[in-house]
């Protein structure tokens, strides 16, 4: 593949990353020098930051024609910020990478090599996660394996959004308007020829993670419910199992009554009521999640609102 006049778009979502922006920019400036054959645009998406992230990014966009800036009207979330960058990107190839430098920009030339070999998607697969707690690493492994089991699409395990995508893949993504977005799952759904590039994830250069525990839980739920109806089938299975147990309990109580030793006390009844009530509430909750998502989708609201743009 000829690289002359080839446009490479690098999308970098940011949320309260003032501590790391200067170092991030230095790393990307060095990267651009190594990719001299490409026309590169660095598209930073400020996802409603409340610190000086926007001011820093704006100053860089004034000084460099390569730096483009999208400022969203509020914090819409990481996946929506990535989506905004994708919709404004003009590249023949598009790279998604976070600003915190846990995913090394220096890996991008290897991703480009695989793209030039004919792969339409080059996603980076973590073989090691540095700087993260054992709890987070363990829960992440559990999540990816549960997602792999439940999903109707083969979503690679231990992967994030750090990836390179060909323009034809991005064009398909832009036709997918769902609100509860799970980019890595959407890219897996699209298909095409994909390659897993293994790497060692670094710890954050500075600042704190923008994904606390409950936000990670919501993200996990979005990933599972967006790509599978198996939870609904599991709730149906729970219903059959609980009905079977209730039937067995009824037969047992009837037999004991017939032989003259009726079941006494409230303990067994209390346990049965709590168990069946729990199963019903879980099943209703699962159905409610799907119904709620359908309701949100039916509104057809735009995914985000742009407050300012620079260089675009």
Question: Per residue in 50-86, pLDDT tens?
Answer: 888 889 998 888 888 888 999 998 988 888 899 999 9
Of 30 and 274, the one with more pLDDT: 30
Residue 88 has what pLDDT? 92
CA neighbor of 200 nearest in space, from 125, 108, 142: 125
Of 185 and 97, the one with more pLDDT: 97
Phi/psi for 25 (5° steps) reads: -65, -40
Which residues contact residue 257 at a Cβ distance below 8 angstroms, ignoring those fewer than 6 apart? 263
Question: Per residue in 244-288, pLDDT tens?
Answer: 777 777 777 777 767 766 666 656 676 677 677 777 777 777 777
Which residues contact residue 236 at a Cβ distance below 8 angstroms, ignoring those fewer than 6 apart? 283
Each domain of the chain, given as residue ranges in start order, spans 6-228+302-310, 230-299
Residue 227 has pLDDT above 90, yes or no: no
Q: Which two tokens stand for residue 235?
A: 């709730």
Of 7 and 258, the one with more pLDDT: 7
pLDDT band at 95 (very low <50, low <70, confident <90, very high): very high
Query: Quick check: 152 and 182 in contact, CB under 8 A?
Result: no
Residue 210 has pLDDT above 60, yes or no: no
Residue 212 has pLDDT above 60, yes or no: no
Residue 78 has what pLDDT? 87
Mean pLDDT on 145-174: 80
Report the relative pairing of strands 306-310 and 159-166 from DSSP bridges: unpaired
Give the CATH number of domain 6-228+302-310.
3.90.550.10
Q: How many CA atoms lie within 13 A of 80 on its CB side?
A: 21
Residue 211 has what pLDDT? 56
126 conformational bin, left if phi > 0, alpha if psi -120 to 50, beta if neither: beta
> What percent of the chain stands above pLDDT 90?
14
Cite the beta strand spans of 158-312 per DSSP E: 159-166, 194-201, 306-310
How far is residue 19 from each of residues 6, 137, 242, 310, measured CA to CA in Å?
32, 24, 53, 22
Question: Per residue in 169-186, pLDDT tens?
Answer: 999 988 888 787 888 888
Phi/psi for 186 (5° steps) reads: -65, -40
How far is residue 142 from each of residues 92, 104, 150, 157, 219, measured CA to CA in Å?
35, 25, 12, 10, 14
Residue 203 has what pLDDT? 67
Residue 165 has what pLDDT? 92
């Amino acid at each position: 593949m000829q690289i002359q006049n080839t446009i490479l778009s690098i999308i970098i979502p940011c949320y309260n990353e003032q501590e790391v922006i200067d170092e991030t920019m230095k790393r990307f400036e060095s990267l651009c020098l190594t990719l001299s054959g490409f026309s590169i645009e660095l598209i930073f998406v400020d996802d409603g930051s409340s610190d000086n992230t926007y001011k820093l990014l704006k100053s860089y966009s004034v000084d460099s024609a390569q730096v483009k800036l999208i400022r969203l009207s509020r914090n819409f979330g990481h996946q929506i910020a990535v989506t905004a960058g994708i919709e404004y990107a003009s590249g023949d190839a598009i790279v998604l990478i976070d600003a915190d430098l846990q995913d090394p920009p220096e890996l991008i030339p290897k991703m480009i090599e695989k793209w030039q070999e004919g792969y339409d998607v080059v996603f980076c697969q973590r073989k090691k996660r540095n700087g993260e707690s054992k709890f987070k690493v363990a829960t992440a492994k559990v999540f990816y394996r549960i997602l792999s089991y439940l999903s109707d699409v083969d979503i690679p395990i231990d992967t994030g959004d750090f990836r390179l995508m060909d323009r034809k893949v991005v064009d398909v993504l832009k036709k997918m308007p769902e609100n509860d977005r799970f980019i890595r799952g959407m890219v897996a759904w699209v298909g095409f020829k994909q390659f897993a590039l293994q790497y060692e994830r670094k710890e954050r250069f500075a600042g704190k993670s923008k994904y606390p525990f409950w936000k990670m839980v919501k993200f996990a739920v979005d990933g599972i419910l967006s790509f599978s109806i198996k939870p609904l089938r599991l709730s149906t299975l729970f219903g059959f199992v609980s009905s079977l147990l209730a039937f067995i309990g009824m037969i047992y109580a009837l037999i004991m009554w017939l032989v003259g030793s009726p079941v006494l006390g409230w303990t067994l009844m209390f346990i049965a009521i709590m168990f069946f009530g729990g199963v019903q509430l879980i099943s209703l909750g699962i159905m409610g999640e799907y119904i709620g998502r359908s309701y949100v989708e039916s509104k057809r609201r735009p995914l985000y609102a742009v407050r300012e743009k620079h260089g675009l």
